[in-house]
Every structure is written in structure tokens, then in C-alpha cells.
């Protein structure tokens, strides 16, 4: 909420302050950064005969006719002429008596709007009208700001102009740096964007490469880089137990595995172990495409910590994924004499209490679980490493809660949603990043098919054929309950339909509302081959590993995001058999859905899919929960402004080392207290 002091300084009424609050405008600086959506050119008059179609312009003329018609509905039609040989119709669908008075026959008026070809001839619909008598032309282009009902443009313009007048806009960056980067001063940039002179065209001002825009983009990118680097420095300045390990357990596991690690896996294990051997906390992100073998890397990292006497917590976002990890870790670690316990919200109290007791007294070295791991009743004897899988599913506060179970712990975060280079350079600049860039041998490429829902019976026949050959199939539906708004096929309906269409097959159902024990039982039956087809909601999106499953059918693929589609597709292709992913879609398709389906059909590489996804959705949606702890970008667009991002990355460490006072001033202006969660 805006402070009384700011209200008084900017001469803002209580009513306007409440409206500004809806726009998240609380300070003079917020108002200064509230930039126009577009501009109207009221600096000159365009003759009607020369006025372009489809481009906003201002015309002036005498009203030669006015009438209210009722065809097809009530509307006010006004006709003006300016002596240029052409007339223009002004049409008002919603109008008041004041409009009729303002456009009475014989009056000379100015109209601002966009001319279109209409039923009566060339027309403006709901133009902005003002009396031409005695009014001079505007000296600058007129800004049009994002607003809310009850806060009109003239009021908002006045408030913003006052904010510009009272806000200190001195540069935080030295002239020499601005000169080198060919960037204008901040005050000049802001004043120009709020009140551009007529020498600049509307096209120039809307172009992101316009120097004034470039300055604002650079400033916020620099603030982000500075905050990330300082968070990293703070972490490196912390003290954590060095978990070097002696290699006995890791070597024993590697020798027992039925497969050899890939070069990519060995490289990232080496990076992680090198970090953990340091006396400052590791903060590393491990990314690898679907099926790249991140779990074994996590297990080896855990063993390194255990060799050093520390405990390990492995956290996953869903019980299905946590159960998968528990089974894998148990399979790999218990033959080495290491007990693995699990902590899920759905476990009975006795099982939970037993696990908690073993963690407190240190008799158990590793726990696998969900968000239950960071609940209040859980304490560790000597937590040294946290491993967070699908880290983007957790909010910053949740990761912080787990981290705080130990004084200073090493953190390994894993993600099968690859992070595009521009995001890694910006929003993840505080992390060290390891990448498993090659899939293990033996993975067969997955063929992707786009199929219209009207051919559903053919797909059912395809599933039957695959199952008769001994293969298994997933059939994924987005919802479990009937939804009148989305009208999606539900998993329950699909199960009934498939059981009718394919009576010779054993078909099971798993969805998010089932009890954990029921889910586990169905998953176990599918994994052991007891079920031919598993109908599921997107709860099987991550972590499920059934090598014999060679067919994935995804209902209403047009409704799903790219990352989700790629994750689901990655549940197949884990065995030697050729795998197919069928994307069923329903028409009509929107432009966004078409774009997503085109990307998933044409690409199998997770990094390229992630890059395209970032372009389609933007960083805010792409980042999900992480954004609550990282300053978001208002002006810069990562792909478009890559050169500015690279410049900010280059300059940030120099400023931190040589000009701490500049860093402090720049962050105070651009972040204003939003850096609290950085480094989590």
C-alpha cells in the first residue's frame, strides 16, 4: 500500500491510491517504471483523405451530420468533413448525452483513433473526441498506460509526471561505462519514454532496440547479475563440513552395477564430489534429459557424504517419484550395509516415528521422502547433503526449510526440465550447473505421432497390437473429474471405455486422489507385467521407470505444456523395443496449442524443447516456483536481449570487486528488498 508521505508528495487522493495499489504501484519509483503500453500522436493533424487505414492518427473536421440509429443496435453515427474532399464516420456503440452534445452539427472537433473500412465507409469506432476551437496541439506523443477501471489516462499521466519530477534519477552507473556500452543516461531514457518528442515515431518507441529501452533492460539485467553473484559469494563464504569420502562405498556400488557409467555421468559425479570436498556449501544443479541417468549420480553423491559420516535427505515432489527413488536407493545401498528409510505424508504414525527416531540418533544415514522431510517433527543427527529432485516443483521456502534441517548443508538439485542457456546465465546464475548431456546406451529413439481424436478407435487397435506382442502401454488423461469448462476426457471414463474396447487386456488406473498404498499397488502390478495398460493422470509424469512400456498415449495433448509432454514421453523408450508416443488432440486448436504440438513433434532433445518453451511462455511461467525468490525481469527479454545479458555478466564481477558503492546503490534502486530468498 502507498504510504501517506508518498500520497502527499505526489498529490494522490485516497481513491486513486487504492486504484494504484491494484496496479502494484506503491512508490514514486514504481510509478516512474510504469511505462506506456503504446502512444498516440496528437502532435499534428492528418487530412482525412491522407489518413492511413489501421494506423492511429488525429483528424480535425466539422460535424456535418449526426444521428442515432437502431440497426443492428442503438449507436451514435457522426459524419465529419475537413475540406480535403473526403468525409469520415465516427461510430459510438456506447454513448451518453454528452457525446451527442460534443458532436453536434456545426461543431469543429478533433478525433483520435484508428480508421477502418466500415459499413458506411471509412470510420473510427469510439475515437477520443475533443473540441478543436482554441486548443493547441500536443508537444509530445501522448502515452497510454496500463490502468484499471476508475483511473483514467489524464489522472495517471499527471501522477506519473509528478513522480518523474520528484524522484532523484541520478545515474548509479559511471559515465565511462555508459559511454563504452553506448547507453543513454537513465533520467534521459525515462523522460523520453514517458514524454517522447514528435521527432520519434511510434514504431521507433515500440522497438526494443530503441536506446532508452536498452538502458532500462541493461539496468535490470545488471541488478539481477549483481544479486546472483552476491548470493553466490555469500554461500561460498559460508562454512560446511567437507565431505570428501574415501571411495570405498562408491567403488563397491559401481562394481555391483549391471551397467557402466557413461562418460557424462562420471564427469558430473566428479564435479559434485569436488564441490562436496570443499569447506563451503555446494549449491549445484544437476540437469539431464529424461532418462539420462540422474538417479545413479544422486546415489553416488549420497554415498560420498555417507563415507564422510554425514546423513543425506533425498526429496521428491510426489509420493510416486519418492517411492521410485526409495526402491532404487534400497536396491543399490542395502547390499552395502546401508539402511534406507522413507518419510511420506501417507505413512502410518508408527512407521514415521520409527524413521524419525533413527534420523535423530544417527543410526540411519539416508532418508527418502516428500515434503514430509521438512515438517517440524523431523530432525537429523548430522545432515550433510540434501538432494532435491525436480527442484522446480518446490517453492524457495520449502527448499529453505529442508536446508535448515542442517546448519550448513551441501545441496544438489536435480531437474529433468533442461534449462536454456539464457536462463542458466540469468535466473540460475547463483548455481553451479552440471549437465548429463548424453543418454545411456541401449535407449531406443521414441517416435512421436500426432493423431486427431476422431481416430481414437485406431489408436485403441494400435494399443491392442502392441500388447499382443508382449509390450505395455500408458494411457494418460489430464483430469480425474468431469469438467464442464474444459470438457476433457477423464481417466475414469477412459478406463471404462478401454475395458469395453479391449476386453482381453488387463487395464489398471492410477490417479492423484488415490491413497498412496493403492497407487503403489497398481504401480507394482504394472511394473511386474501384471497389467497391460496403465490409465493414469499426469501423476506418472516424472520418475516412473518400466522398461517394457513401449507405448504412450496422451489424451488432449493440446492442453498440456511442453515440459509436461516431454516428461510423459520420456516414460517410454527405456527398453530395447521401438517406442511410440501418440499425442491425441481435439480440434479446434489455438495458436499456442499448435505451436506446442509442432515443437514436441519436431524435437526430441530436451534442451531445444526447453528453449522453444521459454520463447512461448516467457521466464515467469517457465521458472514456476523458483520465481518467488528471484527478481523477475520486467523489461528485458532473454533471447532478444542476449547481448545485454552477456554485457551485464561481464561487468557485474568487476563492479563487485572495484565499486561496491555502485553495486549497493544499483541494487537499492532496482531490487528494493526483493533479494531475500536468493541463494536458496
Please report the pLDDT score of residue 480 as a whole number. Answer: 45
Residue 39 β-bridge partners: 143
d(Cα 489, Cα 476) in Å, to the nearest integer?
Answer: 10
Q: Which residues contact 252 (CB under 8 A, 6 or more apart)?
A: 336
The full DSSP string for 437-458 is -SPPTTPPPEEEEEEEGGGHHH
What confidence tens digit (pLDDT) does each residue in 35-81 have? 999 998 888 899 999 999 998 899 999 999 999 999 888 999 999 99
What are the residues facing 383 on neighbouring strands?
A: 311
| d(C-alpha 344, C-alpha 346), whole Å | 5
In sequence order, the β-bridge partners of residue 387 are: 314, 412
**Cell numbers that stand for 594 in this block:** 499448435
- In the chain, pLDDT over 70 holds for what percent of residues? 91
Dihedral angle computed from the Cα positions of residues 215, 216, 217 and 220, in that order, rounded to the nearest 10 degrees: 120
Provide the grid cell at 191: 523522460
Q: Where is pLDDT greater, at 545 or 372?
A: 372
Query: What would the pLDDT profile of 250-278 be if each residue is shown by its tens digit?
Result: 999 999 999 899 999 999 999 999 999 99
- pLDDT band at 288, cuts 50/70/90? confident
Spatial neighbors of 415 by CB under 8 A, at least 6 apart, are: 285, 286, 287, 390, 391, 392
Helix, strand, or coil here: 243? coil
pTM: 0.74
What is the rounded average pLDDT of the residues 125-140? 88
* Residue ranges of domains in the chain, CATH in brackets: 4-38+145-207 (no CATH), 44-137 (2.40.50.140), 248-436 (3.40.50.300), 446-603 (3.40.50.300)
Helix, strand or coil, per DSSP, at residue 122 = strand
- Average pLDDT for 127-134: 88
For the record, the C-alpha cell of 84 comes out as 480535403
Question: Looking at residue 397, what is its pLDDT?
Answer: 53
| Residue 494 pLDDT > 50 | yes
In order of 81, 141, 142, 159, 488, the CA distances from 137 in angstroms are 19, 10, 11, 21, 56
C-alpha cell at 338: 546401508
pLDDT band at 537 (very low <50, low <70, confident <90, very high): confident
Question: What is the mean predicted confidence (pLDDT) over 394-420?
Answer: 69
pLDDT at 677 over 60: no
Q: How many Å apart are CA 628 and CA 674, to the nearest integer?
A: 9
Q: Does 676 score more than 50 pLDDT? A: no
Amino acid at each position: 500500500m502507498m504510504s501517506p508521505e508518498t500520497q502527499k508528495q505526489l498529490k494522490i487522493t485516497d481513491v486513486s491510491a487504492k486504484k494504484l495499489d491494484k496496479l502494484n504501484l506503491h512508490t514514486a519509483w514504481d510509478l516512474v517504471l510504469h511505462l506506456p503500453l503504446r502512444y498516440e500522436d496528437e502532435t499534428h493533424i492528418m487530412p482525412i483523405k491522407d489518413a492511413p487505414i489501421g494506423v492511429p492518427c488525429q483528424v480535425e473536421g466539422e460535424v456535418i451530420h449526426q444521428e442515432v440509429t437502431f440497426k443492428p443496435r442503438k449507436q451514435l453515427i457522426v459524419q465529419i468533413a475537413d475540406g480535403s474532399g473526403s468525409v469520415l464516420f465516427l461510430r459510438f456503440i456506447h454513448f451518453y448525452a454528452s457525446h451527442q452534445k460534443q458532436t453536434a452539427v456545426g461543431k469543429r472537433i478533433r478525433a483520435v483513433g484508428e480508421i477502418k473500412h466500415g459499413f458506411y465507409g471509412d470510420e473510427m469506432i469510439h475515437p477520443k473526441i475533443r473540441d478543436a476551437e482554441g486548443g493547441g496541439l500536443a508537444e509530445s506523443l501522448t502515452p497510454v498506460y496500463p490502468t484499471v477501471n476508475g483511473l483514467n489516462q489524464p489522472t495517471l499521466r499527471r501522477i506519473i509526471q509528478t513522480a518523474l519530477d520528484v524522484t532523484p534519477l541520478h545515474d548509479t552507473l559511471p559515465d565511462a561505462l555508459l559511454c563504452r556500452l553506448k547507453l543513454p543516461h537513465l533520467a534521459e531514457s525515462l523522460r523520453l519514454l514517458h514524454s517522447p518528442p514528435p521527432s520519434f515515431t511510434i514504431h521507433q518507441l515500440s522497438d526494443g532496440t530503441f536506446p532508452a529501452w536498452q538502458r532500462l533492460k541493461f539496468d535490470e539485467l545488471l541488478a539481477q547479475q549483481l544479486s546472483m553473484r552476491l548470493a553466490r559469494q555469500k554461500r561460498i563464504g559460508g562454512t560446511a563440513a567437507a565431505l570428501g569420502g574415501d571411495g570405498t562405498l562408491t567403488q563397491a556400488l559401481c562394481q555391483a552395477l549391471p551397467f557402466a557409467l557413461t562418460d557424462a555421468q562420471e564427469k558430473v559425479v566428479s564435479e559434485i564430489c569436488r564441490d562436496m570436498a570443499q569447506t563451503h556449501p555446494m549449491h549445484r544443479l544437476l540437469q539431464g534429459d529424461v532418462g539420462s541417468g540422474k538417479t545413479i549420480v544422486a546415489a553416488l553423491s549420497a554415498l560420498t557424504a555417507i563415507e564422510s559420516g554425514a546423513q543425506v535427505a533425498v526429496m521428491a515432489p510426489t509420493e510416486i517419484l519418492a517411492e521410485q527413488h526409495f526402491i532404487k536407493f534400497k536396491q543399490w545401498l542395502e547390499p552395502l550395509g546401508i539402511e534406507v528409510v522413507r518419510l511420506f505424508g501417507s505413512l502410518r504414525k508408527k512407521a514415521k516415528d520409527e524413521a524419525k527416531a533413527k534420523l535423530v540418533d544417527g543410526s540411519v544415514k539416508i532418508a527418502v521422502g516428500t515434503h514430509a522431510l521438512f515438517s517440524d517433527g523431523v530432525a537429523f543427527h548430522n545432515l550433510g547433503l540434501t538432494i532435491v529432485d525436480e527442484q522446480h516443483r518446490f517453492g524457495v521456502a520449502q527448499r529453505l526449510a529442508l536446508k535448515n534441517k542442517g546448519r550448513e548443508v551441501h545441496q544438489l538439485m536435480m531437474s529433468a526440465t533442461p534449462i536454456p542457456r539464457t536462463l542458466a546465465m540469468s535466473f540460475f546464475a547463483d548455481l553451479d550447473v552440471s549437465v548429463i548431456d548424453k543418454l545411456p546406451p541401449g535407449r531406443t529413439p521414441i517416435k512421436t505421432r500426432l493423431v486427431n481424436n476422431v481416430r481414437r478407435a485406431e489408436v485403441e487397435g494400435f494399443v491392442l497390437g502392441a500388447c499382443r506382442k508382449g509390450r505395455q502401454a500408458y494411457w494418460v488423461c489430464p483430469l480425474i473429474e468431469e469438467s464442464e469448462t474444459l470438457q476433457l476426457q477423464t481417466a475414469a471414463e477412459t478406463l471404462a471405455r478401454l475395458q469395453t474396447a479391449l476386453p482381453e487386456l488387463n487395464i489398471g488406473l492410477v490417479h492423484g486422489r488415490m491413497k498412496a498404498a493403492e497407487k503403489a499397488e497398481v504401480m507394482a502390478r504394472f511394473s511386474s507385467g501384471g497389467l497391460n495398460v496403465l490409465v493414469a493422470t499426469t501423476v506418472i509424469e516424472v520418475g516412473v521407470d518400466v522398461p517394457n512400456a513401449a507405448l504412450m498415449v496422451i489424451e488432449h495433448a493440446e492442453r498440456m505444456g511442453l515440459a509436461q509432454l516431454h516428461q510423459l514421453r520420456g516414460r517410454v523408450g527405456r527398453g530395447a523395443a521401438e517406442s511410440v508416443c501418440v499425442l491425441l488432440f481435439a480440434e479446434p486448436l489455438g495458436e499456442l496449442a499448435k505451436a506446442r504440438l509442432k515443437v514436441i513433434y519436431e524435437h526430441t532433445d530436451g534442451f531445444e524443447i526447453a528453449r522453444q518453451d521459454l520463447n512461448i511462455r516467457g521466464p515467469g511461467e517457465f521458472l514456476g516456483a523458483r520465481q518467488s525468490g528471484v527478481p523477475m525481469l520486467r523489461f528485458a527479454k532473454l533471447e532478444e536481449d542476449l547481448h545485454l545479458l552477456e554485457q551485464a555478466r561481464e561487468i557485474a564481477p568487476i563492479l563487485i570487486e572495484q565499486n561496491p558503492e555502485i553495486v549497493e546503490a544499483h541494487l537499492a534502486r532496482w531490487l528494493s528488498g526483493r533479494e531475500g530468498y536468493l541463494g536458496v
